[in-house]
Amino acid sequence: MRLKKSVVLLLSSVLSIGMLAACSSKSKGDESANGSNVIKIATQTPLSGGSAIVGESMRLGAQMKLEEQAEKFKELGYTLKLESYDDQSDPKKGVSNANIIGADNSIYAVVGHFNSGVTIPSSEVYEKYKVAMVSPGATAVTVTDRGLKTVNRIVGRDDAQGPAGAKYAIETLGAKKIFIIQDKTAYGSGIADAFKVAAEEAGAEIVGYEGITVGEKDFNGVINQVLTKNPDLIYFGGIYSEAGIIIKQARDKGIDVPIMGGDGMDASGLVDIAGDAVKNTYITSVAGDSTATEAGKKFVEDYKAKFNKNAEAFSVYGYDAMGVILHAIENAINENDGKIPSKEKVAEAVRSVKDYEGVLTNVTFNEIGDNTNSKIYLYKFNEASYPGILEGEVGK
C-alpha cells in the first residue's frame, strides 16, 4: 500500500510539473483557435487533367507568396504552411477535398478554384466550415451571386466578360453571323450564354449553338455543322485543352474566320495544342499582362528563377489571391491582441479587404465577394506564341 501511494504521488508530481512547463512555454500562437502556432493555407486547383497548366501555375504563384511572407508571420509567432490539393477539375473530387480541408482546424483559408463547376459545390462546404476562399480564376456569376460569406474572387465575372467579347466581335471584327460552341460546364455554358445574349442584343445572328463534352478529341461533327452554317465568327465557351483541338480541326477543314473565346483559353497550352492554327484567334481574359507593371516584371523574373518555368497568365493571380488572404489574417491577428481568431473571424477579415495592392490587382471586395476593381482584357494571336498580343482593356 505504501509503495502504491508513493507511485501515485510521484505520478501526480510529474503531471503537475508537465502542466506547468506546458503553460510556461506557450507562445502567442498557442492561444489560437486550433491550439497551435501553425497557420495552414490550402490551395485547391487542377494539378492533373485538361486544366493542369493553369491549376499548377496558380498553386506555384500562391506558394511563392506564402514563402515570401513566412518570416513576417514568424515574427508574429506563427508558422505558415501550404497544403496543396488536386481537384482534378472534378466537382466530386473538389467537394471531397473541401471536406478534408474544412475538418482540419489548422486550415484557415483556401486559394482556389479555377473551374467554376468545381468552385460552386466545393464552396458550399467551405461555407459550412467557415473557411475563407479566394478564387484566382472562377468567373461564373453563380460563384458569388449565392451570397455566401466565405466566398470571394479577385477576377471579373462572366456577365462582364461575355458582353465584352460580343462587343469586340461585332464592332471591331464586324461579325454578323456567329456560331457558338460550349463545353456544357458551369463556366463554358455561362460565358457562352452571356456572349449570346449580348451579341443578339447588338444585332448579330446566332446561326448555331452546340455543346461538346470535356475530354473529347474529335470535334469534326460540330465543325461540319459550322461549315454548313458558314458563320463569320466562331465563339467557344470552354477550356484551352478542347479549344486548341477545335481551332486546329476547324483550320484543317478550311475554316479561316476569327475564333473567339474567354479566359479558359488563356494558357500556353492553347498554343501548344493549336500550333500555327491559333492565328486569327481572339480571347477575352480576366487576366492582365503580368509584365505591365514593374512589380509584375519582377514577379515574372522571380517566378522563372524559382520554378524554372515561365509564368502563366494566372500565376500572378494565385500570388495575389494568397496575398489577400495573408493580409487579412495579419490584420485579424493584430486586431486580436496577437492571437489568431476563429475561422469565422478570419473569413470576415477577408471579406473586409479594401484597397489591397497586389502585383497586378487592386482588391476591394463588395458585399458578395466580388472584386470591384476587376477588369476584362482582350488578346489576339497573330502567330503561334503565348501570350497573345494585348489589345487593351475592354470591360470591368
Domain boundaries defined on the chain: 34-156+291-365, 159-285+377-395
pLDDT at position 311 is: 96
pLDDT in tens, 305-349: 999 999 999 999 999 999 999 999 999 999 999 999 999 999 999
Residue 32 in grid coordinates = 489560437
Contact 238, 212 (CB under 8 A): yes
- Compute the C-alpha angle 385/391/394, nearest 5°: 130
- 179's enclosing H/E stretch is strand 177-182
pLDDT in tens, 222-261: 999 999 999 999 999 999 999 999 999 999 999 999 999 9
CATH number given to 34-156+291-365: 3.40.50.2300
CATH number given to 159-285+377-395: 3.40.50.2300
pTM of the predicted model as reported, rounded to 2 decimal places: 0.88
Same fold? 34-156+291-365, 159-285+377-395: yes
Contact 285, 257 (CB under 8 A): no
Residue 37 in grid coordinates = 502556432
pLDDT at position 293 is: 85
